[in-house]
Amino acid sequence: MRIAVVGCTGLVGTQILKVIDEFNLKVNEIIPIASERSVGKTICFKGKDYNVVGLRQGVEMKPDVAIFSAGGELSKQWAPEFTKVGCFVVDNSSAWRMDNSKRLIVPEINAHLLTKDDKIIANPNCSTTQLVAVLAPLHKIYRVKRLVISTYQSVTGTGVKAVQQMENERKGVVGEMAYPHPIDLNCIPHGGSFDEDGYTTEETKLVNETRKILGDQSINITATVVRIPVYGGHSEAVNIEFVSDFNLDEVRKILSETPGIIVQDNPTENIYPMPLLAEGGNDIFVGRIRRDLSQPKSLNLWIVADNLRKGAATNAVQIVEYLYKKGFIGKKTNKS
């Protein structure tokens, strides 16, 4: 495959390159693409240097697939340009997620829906990805009726500017602010921008994307998004009301047998998921599994994953891997 990485110098873009390498995909050329200020720099991949190019040149190089991680506005403009030259696009922004003509994919759940005609494929929001990966196997058996979600999200989800703000604050340095308030030693109940209904765009994404991926618009969902001063990943406290009742041992068994999920649930030994342990990995960790004693058929879970990995880069690369295995891209195609 010839893979383009759009936004290759950003937090997610650098992780995409790492994951491609770790997955040992059949890659004969990487096309690193970034903003004009980065054009001409070099990126090293598997011991070979590649020159960073601009978007127009990237299109002209006709990659098999382009993984976008450069924001929604840029994706709206340029993703269609890549598809015109026969390229698949896997997009990390929110630009295409709720477009009814585009697939929103977490490979373990719904990759089977993809066809060779799905040229633009949306990657979910990082918080959604780890949530639905845990919900999907439970939804099949018990059917989710209602979700109450509180997230505790890493500064890395906001980007380099937010990481720099936290580091500056820890050093006592006055610098540029990514948030309207200090983030170190603080929690900010604000993710994205506020809508008229008082919810933020990050909260709305959790609602809409979860329903789309699970294929069930009847699920009632409410969410609160909070930014916290950590690097390692996003954490979520999730309360689930099911249509059918469940057995806790069966729930643990289902989750422990689900690919990509690791159950860490031994609170008497202080074993439970934490972003400190999730950082740098591709798995989704779930623990604090317990029945909600306040109402029937309800379950509490604590879910943690590295938002730059499974929440973004890893999920995108897994989609590319699926496209290759299906013969939609790479050496099995007849593309000239």
Question: Which pLDDT score is estimated for 331?
Answer: 65
Residue 31 has pLDDT above 70, yes or no: yes
Residue 332: per-residue pLDDT: 47
Active-site option among 8, 87, 139, 234: 234
CATH architecture for residues 127-305: 2-Layer Sandwich (3.30)
CB 323 within 8 A of CB 88: yes
**Active-site annotation holds for 8:** no
What is the spatial distance between Cα 270 and Cα 264, in angstroms, rounded to a whole number?
Answer: 10
44 catalytic per annotation: no
Q: Which of 8, 87, 126, 139 is catalytic?
A: 126
**Of 40-44, 85-89, 261-265, minimum mean pLDDT range:** 40-44
What's the rounded Cα separation, in Å, for the pair 70 and 73? Answer: 8
The full set of domain ranges for the chain reads 2-95+312-325, 127-305
Q: Any residues with CB less than 8 A from the CB of 250 and at least 6 apart, and which?
A: none
Distance CA 208, CA 222 (A): 10
Q: How far apart are CA 249 and CA 255, in angstroms?
A: 10
Res 296 pLDDT > 60: yes
Mean pLDDT of the chain: 96
User: CATH homologous superfamily for 2-95+312-325?
Assistant: NAD(P)-binding Rossmann-like Domain (3.40.50.720)
Stretch 265-294: mean pLDDT, rounded? 97
